[in-house]
Chains A and B, each alone.
Chain A
Amino acid sequence: MTMKFQDPEQEKPIKALQVLSLPVGLRAAVLKATVDRQDIPLPDFHEEGYTISFINFKGDVRVATGHRPGDKEQPASPGLGLISAAGKPMSFRTGASVSFAALVLFVPKGWVPHFLGANTPFRKLEQQLEEGANIITCRLGRKQLSQLSSALNVTGEKPLSLLNLQNGALALLEYFLCNRHRSLLGVSPTSDIENEDDLSLIREVESYISEYYCSDTFTVDSILKKTYTSYHRLNFLFKSIHGMTISEYIRNKRIEKSKEMIADNVKSISQIAYEIGYSSISNYILAFKKVYQITPGKYKKQIDSLA
């Protein structure tokens, strides 16, 4: 099944937009094009459900919630996932010479109860959409981008290309929902961690970190090995409790310690950097700046001038 979209002003066909039905019950549209100052309307599926698009591009692109010129626009950044309720089609306005790729998934209403229905996270997302948020976005990570580009590689000549597309689509969908789920959790951080095991795991990791964080051989990996958890799980737990990733937590701990050491005024900054486990001074200075918005040298001068 192939649909063609015509731009009314320029009378130039954008590119064939393939709509494929996946065996698992989703519908997917695949778009790859190089365009120059054009609107790219995404298909309206004329059915109740949700449209989730994953886009990547090089150039300048804006997202609008409709086809008319007066519609609200948002600037888009490359590597984005967007969800909108069906019946509110999105379109993309492009600047000069943009290479644009999109995977548009249509999730029919009937699909929701089987796959996402009994889920409070999805309910929350639905609620947001009903409350008037037209488009909800999330940024794609590097893994998702590689999944996107491999999913878009539907040639029909390659064996199993449809299955490949389905896998990419499902993985991206899962990422999108989990990502939203986490940001929804961010509103009330500790609500989801009630499990005793999880809490004791976090306590264990915290005490391990406070014991070893100054060693230069200390890595997140060594924690994983010690506690037999996956990185993602540990990060998930850490984020829900501390609101930051585990590496951010470690960095903050190191920088705090270094701040105390600077205030003691016994050691030089480079000595301190090596002592708290940094292998290069510039890394340390960058990290310090990220936490306190000031370089350690300037901080030292401030302290000295006070004393």
Chain B
Amino acid sequence: MSYVSLENSESFLKCFEVIAEDKSCIVSDSVLYFSGKTGKGFITAAGIDTGIEVLALNVSMLTDDLTIRFQPSTDASSYILHFDEIEIPAKGDNDLPVNNMSGVEKGHSAVSIADAGRGKTIVYPRERVIRSLIVRVRKSSLDDLIKDFDAGTIGAILDSPEGPAFLTWPITFKYRLLLNDFMTEIVQHPFRELFTIRNVSMLMEYLLQQFFVMQKLTGEGNSLSSQDTRSLSRVEQHLCSQYKKEFPGIEKLSRISAMSPTSLKTKFKRYYGETLFGYYQKNKLEHARKLLDSKIPVKVVATEIGYSNPSHFTLAFKKEYGFSPWHYLNPH
């Protein structure tokens, strides 16, 4: 097992030296490349002078678990956010996601926010596909962003001594699309730093939105067990993968989750802030929007994401975004 320990005062860039020492990888241009027996992929970091530091990981099939440890620091002026997507690599045309996770569950797909002052350890499991962004952001910049709205709420929860060490939420399709795009485009982007900061900024927006939605939804004493959350994320993964097909139907979903339809519905809503169908529909339309961005005609997009009738697609699109796909293509 390889460890990476970081003092909070140290730069993310130091990570590389530590990982590179005991792994056969190449460091160049502040990017660490894995190859051969240690898996494939890269880690890259950007330290930015406005109080944001980013560590991006895109690795698959590591032969060993990778641990990144942030030491607790006395200087409590920043938060650590991370956006992890950890996938079991696909094996052919497996319709249903794999049910049994063997052994101890280490890292799992989630977004979370923690006070840097308390430190944090993240374990990335081996033999997985991992896309992750770890961001350190100054508390003052984050509070600036939510100033007139609800500044300090996150701080108040994390600072209270009996409160949780970190807040965590499930990863949704929005993050997934963004992380995916980020990892594929970062490699050859001419303005890497700007691209990174833009994506981080968007991820932060998603996280804060999710935070406020969840604040509203979760009442007291409504927490879900870890078994429930695992089942729910299985359902979510299945819903996301089905965007080209029809809605799978509640019976099938409840089979995947091993819950009754009613409890699946209520728990899903509580965990993701969306109804099952609403979530499925949003994911579908987000994919449609991406296709429209690459100048594919509306008719083709509609069939591509599984609508037999383009006008049904137009209606759904309009309901979600407030303008029709045609207007999206022709804004003038």
Binding site for B on A (CB under 8 A): 23-25, 78-79, 114-116, 119, 121-122, 142-143, 145-146, 156, 159-160, 162-164, 166-167, 170-171, 173-174, 177-178, 181, 219-221, 230-233, 247
Q: Is the CB of B198 within 8 A of A114?
A: no
Q: Which residues of B contact A156 (CB under 8 A)?
A: 148
Q: Which residue of A lies closest to B323 (CB)?
A: A146
Confirm or deny: B150 has a beta carbon within 8 angstroms of a beta carbon on chain A.
yes
Q: How many A-B residue pairs have CB under 8 A?
A: 109
Q: Which residues of B contact A160 (CB under 8 A)?
A: 145-146, 149, 205, 208-209
Majority SS at the chain A contact face: helix
Q: Which residues of A contact B184 (CB under 8 A)?
A: 230, 233
Can you list 13 A-B contacts (CB < 8 A)?
A: A25-B49, A25-B50, A114-B49, A114-B193, A115-B193, A119-B190, A121-B190, A142-B329, A170-B197, A177-B190, A178-B190, A221-B304, A231-B295
A156 to B146, CA, bound (A): 10
Q: Which residues of B contact A178 (CB under 8 A)?
A: 189-191
Could you tell me the distance in whole angstroms from the C-beta of A193 to the nearest C-beta in chain B? 10
Could you tell me the distance in whole angstroms from the C-beta of B99 to the nearest C-beta in chain A? 28
Confirm or deny: B204 has a beta carbon within 8 angstroms of a beta carbon on chain A.
yes
A245 to B296, CA, bound (A): 14
- Using A25-B50, A142-B328, A221-B304 as known contacts, say yes or no to A121 and B191 having CB atoms under 8 A apart: yes
Within 8 A of A (CB), among B161-214: 181, 184-185, 188-191, 193-195, 197-198, 201-202, 204-205, 208-209, 212
Q: Is the CB of B201 within 8 A of A174?
A: no
Q: Is the CB of B194 within 8 A of A164?
A: no
Q: Which residue of A lies closest to B300 (CB)?
A: A219
- Using A160-B145, A163-B208, A230-B185 as known contacts, say yes or no to A115 and B194 having CB atoms under 8 A apart: yes
- Using A116-B194, A174-B191, A230-B185 as known contacts, say yes or no to A79 and B48 having CB atoms under 8 A apart: no
Number of interface residues of B (CB under 8 A): 44
Q: Is the CB of A79 within 8 A of B332?
A: yes
Confirm or deny: B17 has a beta carbon within 8 angstroms of a beta carbon on chain A.
no
Q: Which residues of B contact A170 (CB under 8 A)?
A: 194, 197-198, 201
A143 to B291, CA, bound (A): 12
- Using A163-B205, A233-B185 as known contacts, say yes or no to A116 and B198 having CB atoms under 8 A apart: no
User: Which residue of the partner chain, among B52, B145, B202, contacts A162 with CB atoms under 8 Å?
Assistant: B145
A24 to B198, CA, bound (A): 10
- Using A24-B197, A115-B193, A219-B300 as known contacts, say yes or no to A231 and B205 having CB atoms under 8 A apart: no
Confirm or deny: B144 has a beta carbon within 8 angstroms of a beta carbon on chain A.
yes
User: Which residue of the partner chain, among A162, A166, A174, A181, contacts B147 with CB atoms under 8 Å?
Assistant: A162
User: Which residue of the partner chain, among A23, A78, A116, contacts B144 with CB atoms under 8 Å?
Assistant: A23
Confirm or deny: B219 has a beta carbon within 8 angstroms of a beta carbon on chain A.
no
Could you tell me the distance in whole angstroms from the C-beta of B265 to the nearest C-beta in chain A? 27
Q: Which residues of A contact B144 (CB under 8 A)?
A: 23, 162
A178 to B194, CA, bound (A): 11
Confirm or deny: B330 has a beta carbon within 8 angstroms of a beta carbon on chain A.
yes
Majority SS at the chain B contact face: helix
User: Which residue of the partner chain, among A23, A119, A219, contacts B191 with CB atoms under 8 Å?
Assistant: A119
Q: Is the CB of A233 within 8 A of B188?
A: yes
Q: Which residues of B contact A233 (CB under 8 A)?
A: 184-185, 188
Confirm or deny: B294 has a beta carbon within 8 angstroms of a beta carbon on chain A.
yes
Q: Which residues of A contact B194 (CB under 8 A)?
A: 115-116, 170, 173-174, 177
User: Which residue of the partner chain, among B201, B291, B295, B330, contacts A24 with CB atoms under 8 Å?
Assistant: B201
Q: Which residues of B contact A177 (CB under 8 A)?
A: 190-191, 194
A159 to B211, CA, bound (A): 12
User: Which residue of the partner chain, among A159, A173, A247, contacts B149 with CB atoms under 8 Å?
Assistant: A159
Q: Which residues of B contact A220 (CB under 8 A)?
A: 294, 296
A167 to B212, CA, bound (A): 18
Q: Which of B150, B201, B204, B212 has the most CB of A within 10 A?
A: B201
Confirm or deny: B331 has a beta carbon within 8 angstroms of a beta carbon on chain A.
yes
User: Which residue of the partner chain, among B146, B197, B300, contacts A115 with CB atoms under 8 Å?
Assistant: B197
Q: Which residues of B contact A231 (CB under 8 A)?
A: 294-295
**What are the 3 closest A-B residue pairs judged by CB atoms, nearest first?**
A231-B294, A170-B198, A23-B141
Q: Is the CB of B195 within 8 A of A174?
A: yes
Q: Is the CB of A142 within 8 A of B191?
A: no
A24 to B145, CA, bound (A): 10
Q: Which residues of A contact B50 (CB under 8 A)?
A: 23-25, 114
A278 to B149, CA, bound (A): 54
Q: Which residues of B contact A219 (CB under 8 A)?
A: 296, 300
Q: Is the CB of A166 within 8 A of B190?
A: no
Q: Is the CB of A167 within 8 A of B205?
A: yes
Confirm or deny: B251 has a beta carbon within 8 angstroms of a beta carbon on chain A.
no
Could you tell me the distance in whole angstroms from the C-beta of B114 to the nearest C-beta in chain A? 20
Q: Which residue of B lies closest to A117 (CB)?
A: B193
Q: Is the CB of B201 within 8 A of A167?
A: yes
A41 to B112, CA, bound (A): 44
Confirm or deny: B293 has a beta carbon within 8 angstroms of a beta carbon on chain A.
yes
Q: Which residues of A contact B202 (CB under 8 A)?
A: 167
Q: Which residue of A lies closest to B193 (CB)?
A: A115
Q: Which residue of A lies closest to B52 (CB)?
A: A24
Q: Which residues of B contact A163 (CB under 8 A)?
A: 145-146, 201, 204-205, 208
Could you tell me the distance in whole angstroms from the C-beta of B291 to the nearest C-beta in chain A? 8
Q: Is the CB of B294 within 8 A of A232?
A: yes
Q: Which of B141, B189, B190, B330 has the most CB of A within 10 A?
A: B190
Q: Which residues of B contact A116 (CB under 8 A)?
A: 191, 193-194
A102 to B145, CA, bound (A): 22
A227 to B49, CA, bound (A): 38
Q: Which residue of B lies closest to A148 (CB)?
A: B331
Could you tell me the distance in whole angstroms from the C-beta of A252 to the nearest C-beta in chain B? 17
Q: Which residues of B contact A171 (CB under 8 A)?
A: 198
Taking A114-B193, A143-B293, A163-B205 as given, write out 5 further A-B residue pairs in contact, using a Cβ cutoff of 8 Å, ordered by the A residue number: A24-B141, A114-B49, A170-B201, A173-B194, A221-B296
